[in-house]
Structure 1
Amino acid sequence: MKRTIVAMAISLAAASAAHAQKFCIYDPVGAQGSAYAMAKDYALAAKGWGVAIELKAYTDERVAAEDFKAGQCDGVGLTGLRGRQFNHYVGSIDSIGSVPSYKHLRTVIQVLAAPQSEPAMKSGNYEVVGIFPLGAAYVFVRDKSINSIEKAAGKKIAVLDFDKSQARMVQQLGAQPVASDITNFVAKFNNGQVDIVVAPGIAYKPFEMYKGLSNGGAVYNFPLAQLTGNLIIRTDKFPAGFGQKSRAYILTQLDNAERTIKQAEADIDKKFWLNLTPADQEKYTVMMTEARVQMTKEGFYDKKMMGLLKKVRCKFDAANAECATNVE
Structure 2
Amino acid sequence: MKKRILILSTGLLFSFSTLAQAKQNICVFDLLGKAGESYKLIEEWALASKNWDADVNLMAYQDEAKVEQDFKAGKCDAFYMTSMRARAYNKFAGSIDALGGVPSNHIAQKAISFVLDKRNKKRLVSNIGNEKYEVAGIGQIGTAYLFVRDKSINSIEKAAGKKFAILHYDQAQKIIVQRIGAVPVMADISNFVKKFNNGEVDMIAAPAYAFKPLEIYKGLGTTGTMINFPVVNVTADLIIRPDKFPSGFADHSRAWFVQQLPKTFAIVKRMEAEIPAKYRMNLSKEDQVKYQKILREGRIDLTKQGIYEPTMMTVLKKARCTVERTNFECSLSGE
TM-score interval (norm. to shorter)? over 0.9
Match of 1:234 in 2: 241
Alignment-derived partner of residue 14 in structure 2: none
Identity between Structure 1 and Structure 2 (%) = 46
Corresponding position: 1:59 with 2:57: no
- Which of 305, 308, 324 is matched with 1:301 structurally? 308
1:25 counterpart residue number: 28
- The equivalent of 2:83 in structure 1 is 80
Q: Secondary structure at the match of 1:252?
A: helix
The equivalent position to 1:246 in structure 2, one of 239, 245, 253, is 253
Q: Mean alpha-carbon deviation: is it higher for 297-306 or for 182-191?
A: 297-306
SS in 1 for 2:234: strand
Matched, 1:260 2:260: no
Alignment of 1:1-328 (within 5 A): 19-124=22-127, 125-328=132-335
SS of 2:141's partner is strand
Once residues 277 and 37 of structure 1 are traced to their aligned partners in structure 2, the CA distance between those partners, rounded to angstroms, is 38
- Aligned-pair CA distance for 1:18: 6.3
**CA shift for structure 1 position 243:** 0.8
- Deviating above 6 A after TM superposition, structure 1's stretches of 4 or more consecutive aligned residues are 15-18
What is the Cα deviation at residue 301 of structure 1? 1.2
Q: Secondary structure at the match of 2:97?
A: coil
Counterpart of 1:107, as a letter, is K
1:32 CA drift (Å): 2.1
* 1:154-173 alpha-carbon deviations (Å, 9 max, x no partner): 00000000001111111111
Give the structure-2-normalised TM-score: 0.90
Residue identity in the other structure for 1:93: I
- Find the aligned partners of 1:267 and 1:16 in 2 and give their Cα distance: 47
Distance in structure 1 (CA, Å) of the matches to 2:138 and 2:155: 33
Distance, in Å, in 2 between the alignment partners of 1:151 and 1:207 is 26
Structure 1 spans left out of the alignment, 5+ residues: 1-14
The 2-side partners of 1:70 and 1:151 are apart by 45
Secondary structure at the residue paired with 1:97?
coil
Distance in 1 between the 2:104 and 2:285 partners?
17
Amino acid across the alignment from 2:58: L
Work out the CA distance in 1 between the residues paired with 2:235 and 2:322: 21
What amino acid maps onto 2:231 in structure 1?
Answer: L
